[in-house]
Amino acid sequence: MMTIQTSNLGFPRLGRKREWKKTIENYWSGQISQKELTEQLEALHKENLLLQKHAHLDSVPVGDFSLYDHILDTSLLFNIIPERFQDRDVDVDLLFDIARGNKEHVASALIKWFNTNYHYIVPEWDNVEPKVNDNILLERFNFAKSLNVPAHPVIVGPVTFVKLSKGGNQSFEEKVETLLPLYKEVLQSLVDAGASYIQIDEPVLVTDESQSFETITKKAYDYFEEAGLSQYLVIQTYFERVDLKFLNTLPAKGYGLDFVHDHGHNLQLIQDGHLDKDKALYAGIIDGRNVWAADIEAKKELIETLQSYTDELVIQPSSSLLHVPVSLDDESLDESIAEGLSFATEKLAELNALKRYFNENDDTAYNELKERYHRFQNQAFKNVSYDFDSVRTSRQSDFSVRKEAQNNRLHLPDLPTTTIGSFPQSREVRKYRADWKNNRISDEAYREFLEHEISRWIDIQEDIGLDVFVHGEFERNDMVEFFGEKLQGFLVTKFGWVQSYGSRAVKPPIIYGDVKWTEPLTVEETVYAQSLTDKPVKGMLTGPVTILNWSFERVDIPRETVQDQIALAINEEVLALEKAGIAIIQVDEPALREGLPLRSEFHETYLQQAVHSFKLATSSVADETQIHTHMCYSQFGQIIHAIHDLDADVISIETSRSHGDLIKDFEDVTYDLGIGLGVYDIHSPRIPTEDEITTAINRGLKQIDRSLFWVNPDCGLKTRKEDEVVAALTTLVSAVTKLREDKDAQVS
């Protein structure tokens, strides 16, 4: 009988209680030294490695741990450093400056990692001199060995790395070829250090584009074979199906396949005979992207099937566990729901239970997990009926009619200025919210504090001279979790954090049952803010697509059904705000693009469902009520027509961090709705200059009609300091004021 082994593709960096985040931010703020930063992160890395060792994994990944982002780590490893930062030593501070920017230079672009909510730092190839810098991967592998951890190194493959890059004069193929000797040097150092296998991640092979670079992919892995390295390489793919027939031509020890998010195609390809039986199969059978406990019985049956097609079977999560929280151990949840959940640590336990079942004929843990799964499935969480047909899915009038009605109501100036929604969540704000949640202060005391902050920031916006205000969202911990706390059918955890980008962590709510709006969610704070000013104050909501994409979704009913349930709930809140006299309501959809399936055959259905849900949430308002939406840090070319189909009166989109690249998406489409192209990067502490903002506005006006153009930052300002926000917005308003004066002078 074949012996089953277990492995992992990656583990959460954050720590059970966000120790990683806190350590890094303490360094940024000057509270700890670089030596203390290194010591504290090394301790956390050690904890992660030992946790996985004690979960009885046969092999633990090394190279997934990072000070910011694993793609940025790879860039520094191979000296792919942005030109503006090339006069620096390669060290921790350089890494952070590339990721965050500094007073002199803007940060590198931040892009979604495939269709997840993780973001990576885009490598820049302009005028680079590739070479191997300090081999941090070797250092971390040796560190794991010193702990007697059975470890394997992890590195992103050359094809995926280059595909995720930008800039430079070399072709795609030339860049890959440039890197191959450097990869060889690093891989050989790991083999020499005792690595029995190396996980080389090539998730780009699951995309539609993979066929166009098969030649260079084959050349790269043939190169590794000629170097005597292929017998150590396991080519990992995840998030979708792969062309297994092509993958099987690449020389390697084995291949990693996703059997959770592949729509059943990978198993079918194996059954069709496209896997070399001599190759090790690294089977991603445990969902690495969602928090539901595995149907352990179904996983057992899958393993039994796979055993017939390979002589070496290793079971693993479907992807890195970076996308799920660390552990359920610190949660206090209703047991009827908790036993249906599985975070990173519990997923390793599921793998071990399956291994023990097959290798040792020990079914104790297996049977316990099977019973828990069946108990949870028998819970009655579906009890709400819906009348979807009674809610409008298109606005009452065309945009031209609505625009006139809104102009007559709002009387906004040329190039109206606004922000995206949130203002800084200071330590005081977070403390008051925590004290209120833990019953250390009364409801009245908390409400008084919120009103004070709202009032203070209304005054700040008045002083700066913005045209459309926001209340600041001081009552909200997160743009999705906040709604998860208030809508029926959602569960909010205490420590269920996952990394979004850098030190930014989010705590996705868990959708376990039918979703319903039961009371106003945002009306009180918005109406209070509006009572303090004659300027319009936007109602701020999160849209149904984003709430779903940034939650852990239930999987027992169709995804589109859950999305439409959320849309009906948001529609109720939109109408409540309108009834309360709010003239502008923003329904943000920053995650619409990131949820786009990796395979184009699924795009049209996804986008149609997304547009339908957004319009279900927003179309019931009167013509004079202005609907805004917001999207950030994505590649929009594929979905520009769907964005237009949303029929939002105004959309705001990031453009500064992509250095204006997104404007190109509007060259091939006539966008005749209101639009704000973000004019400065809010994720960097640097204050933009007036010239930079003016240039960004003028660049946008080349493609967008001035009468439709809004001016705003890229995203919400929650993570910035108050002095940074005031300085940046003051600069923004000053730039717009001069552009208005220039226009008036030209007219006169």
**Residue numbering of the annotated binding site for L-homocysteine:** 420-422, 473, 588
Task: Give catalytic status of residue 683 as yes or no.
Answer: yes
Read off φ and ψ for residue 189, nearest 5 degrees.
-65, -35
Question: Of all helices (H) and strands (E), which one includes residue 607?
Answer: helix 603-618
Q: Contact at 8 Å (CB) between 533 and 577?
A: no
| End-to-end Cα, the chain, rounded Å | 89
DSSP notation for 204-223: GGGSGGGGGGHHHHHHHHHH
Other CB atoms within 10 Å distance of the CB of residue 32: 18
Beta-carbon contacts of 465 under 8 Å, excluding residues fewer than 6 positions away, are: 417, 733, 737
Q: How far is CA 540 from CA 493, 587, 589, in A?
A: 23, 6, 11
> Which residues, listed in sequence order, are joined to residue 201 by a DSSP beta bridge?
156, 236
> Rounded to whole angstroms, how far apart are CA atoms 301 and 472?
52
Q: How far is CA 371 from CA 296, 301, 335, in A?
A: 9, 16, 14
Binding-site residues for L-methionine sit at 420-422, 473, 588
What's the angle, vertex CA 381, arms to CA 378 and CA 386, rounded to 5? Answer: 135
Read off φ and ψ for residue 491, nearest 5 degrees.
-120, 135
Question: Of all helices (H) and strands (E), which one includes residue 579?
Answer: helix 559-579
Q: Contact at 8 Å (CB) between 699 and 663?
A: yes
Binding-site residues sit at 18-21, 112, 420-422, 473, 550, 588, 594, 630, 632, 654, 715
Q: How far is CA 295 from CA 300, 341, 366, 447, 474, in A?
A: 9, 11, 10, 45, 40
Q: Choosing from 261, 265, 612, 683, which is the catalytic residue?
A: 683
Question: Of all helices (H) and strands (E), which one includes residue 315?
Answer: strand 313-317
Binding-site residues for 5-methyltetrahydropteroyltri-L-glutamate sit at 18-21, 112, 550, 594
Nearest by Cα to 258 from 231, 278, 238, 288: 238
Residue 141's identity, in one-letter code, is F
Both structure tokens of 194: 């005792």
Largest CA distance in the chain: 89
What's the angle, vertex CA 696, arms to CA 664 and CA 125, rounded to 5? Answer: 60
> Rounded to whole angstroms, how far apart are CA atoms 451 and 734?
28
Read off φ and ψ for residue 200, nearest 5 degrees.
-115, 110
3-state DSSP assignment of residue 317: strand
> Which residues, listed in sequence order, are joined to residue 7 by a DSSP beta bridge?
59
Q: How would you label 491-505 residue by residue, b for 16+ Cβ within 10 Å and e otherwise?
A: bbbebbbbbbbbbeb
Q: Contact at 8 Å (CB) between 160 and 71?
A: no
Residue 232's identity, in one-letter code, is Y
> Which residues, listed in sequence order, are joined to residue 121 by a DSSP beta bridge?
110
Nearest by Cα to 358 from 59, 6, 5, 4: 4
> Rounded to whole angstroms, how far apart are CA atoms 262 and 281?
16
> Which residues, listed in sequence order, are joined to residue 60 by a DSSP beta bridge?
151
DSSP letter, residue 520:
-
> Rounded to whole angstroms, how far apart are CA atoms 714 and 710?
12
Q: Contact at 8 Å (CB) between 296 and 339?
A: no
Residue 649's identity, in one-letter code, is D
| Alpha-carbon torsion angle 680, 681, 687, 688, nearest 10 | -30
Active site amino acids: 683
